[in-house]
Amino acid sequence: MALIQRPEAGTAPASRMIRAGSPACPDGKKRGFMPDVRRLALLSLLLCAAVLTGSAQGNSAQNPGRAVLGVFSWQRTNASDEKAARALFETLAEVGAGEVYQVLGGKTAPSFWERAGELRIAVYALAGRPEWGLDTNARQMIRQVDSTAKLMAQMGGDGPVGLMLDVEPYLTKAFRKDPERTMEKYLTAMKKAYARAREKGVFLILCIPHFYDAIGHAGVLDALIREACDAVAVMNYQKEDETGQIKTEMEASRQAGKRLIHIYELQRPGLHDLTESNTYYTDGLPAVWESSEKLRAFFDYAGLSFALHDITALREVIAR
C-alpha cells in the first residue's frame, strides 16, 4: 500500500504513518529559555506533573494526572485569534493537559500567552515538512530553531519553552528510491539542527514514527535519539502492540536519560487511511488513559509522558 500523503493545511502531519501490511511495514508492528536545556526539560516535566496531579475524577475526559499530557495543534489561528486561543485552552484544561505543541505564525494573540501562563501550560513551537530532512545543511530546521529562540528571548519566561520538529523523510520520493541514503541525510540534518538548538538554548523535541527499526534503520534511530534531540515523540499508531513497538525507542531514551512522549492518534477512521487499529477515535479517552497506565507500569520510566493527536480530533472525541 502507498504511503499516506501529507494532509491538507489545517490537519496534522503527525497523523501520517506507514500502514500495517505495507511493504515498508509488513507485519504492522515494530517494525521528543534557559542556557541549560536539560535543566529546562526537567523543570518542565516536574511543573507539568505538578499541574496535572489532582485532576478531577469522574469525568471521562480527564487525564488521571500521573504523567505529563501534551496536545498537538496545527491550526495557526489557535494562537493568533483571541477566540480560538481561548477555546484551545478550554479544551486543554478539560483533559488536564500540561503542554501544547502549537504552530506559531508571525502573530500570536495576547490571550494565548496569558492563558498559557495562567494554566501553567508549556508551549512548544511546532513545525516540520518531510523534505526538510533531505537538506544536509538543515536550513529550514535551523530557521525554525532561530525563530523559536528569538521569540523566547523577546518574551522571556512568558513565551515558548522549546520546539517540536515533525520531519518525516520516509514520506518523500527520495526515500522510496534510496531509503538508506535518505536516512543518512536526515540524520546529518537533525544533528546540525540539534547543534543549533543547543547553541541557542532551545529545547528540541523530535517527532518520529514507531517503525524505523522495523524497516532496517535501527542505527539511525538510536543516533537520532542520542545525538539529535532533547526528547523524542513517537507516533505509536498501532494498538496491537503498543509496548513492543516502542521498546527500542524506550531503551535508547532511558540510556540517554531523555524523555519519550508516546503519541495517541484520535482522528476518525477513514482519514489518511486510518483504521480502527490505528486510532482511539471510537474507543474514546478512557481507553487512552487505560493504555497510558499500562505503558507506565510496563516501562516504569519517569521520563515517559503522553500526547494526543490532535486538538481538532480531541474535540470530536469529547463531543461523542
Is pLDDT above 90 for 214? yes
Q: Tens digits of per-residue pLDDT, 67-82? A: 799 999 999 999 999 9
258, amino acid identity: K
Q: What is the mean pLDDT of residues 48-67?
A: 50
What integer pLDDT is reported at residue 31 of this predicted model? 32
The residue with cell 494554566 is: 119
Residue 195 or residue 34, greater confidence: 195
What integer pLDDT is reported at residue 15 of this predicted model? 44
Do the beta carbons of residue 256 and residue 262 sit within 8 Å? no
> Which residue pairs from 77-84 have beta carbons closer than 8 angstroms and sit at least 24 positions apart in sequence?
78/102, 78/103, 78/112, 78/311, 79/103, 79/104, 79/105, 79/108, 79/109, 79/112, 80/105, 80/107, 80/108, 80/109, 80/112, 81/109, 82/109, 82/110, 82/111
Considering only 21-25, 129-133, 241-245, which range has the smallest mean pLDDT? 21-25
CATH of the domain spanning 29-52+62-319:
3.20.20.70
Phi, psi angle pair for 30, to nearest 5°: -75, 55
What integer pLDDT is reported at residue 64 of this predicted model? 65
Q: Tens digits of per-residue pLDDT, 31-44? A: 333 334 434 444 44
Q: Tens digits of per-residue pLDDT, 226-251? A: 999 999 999 999 999 999 999 999 99
What integer pLDDT is reported at residue 156 of this predicted model? 86
What integer pLDDT is reported at residue 246 of this predicted model? 98
Instruction: Report domain extents, the chain.
Output: 29-52+62-319
- What's the CA gap between 218 and 211, in Å, rounded? 9
- What's the CA gap between 51 and 82, in Å, rounded? 24
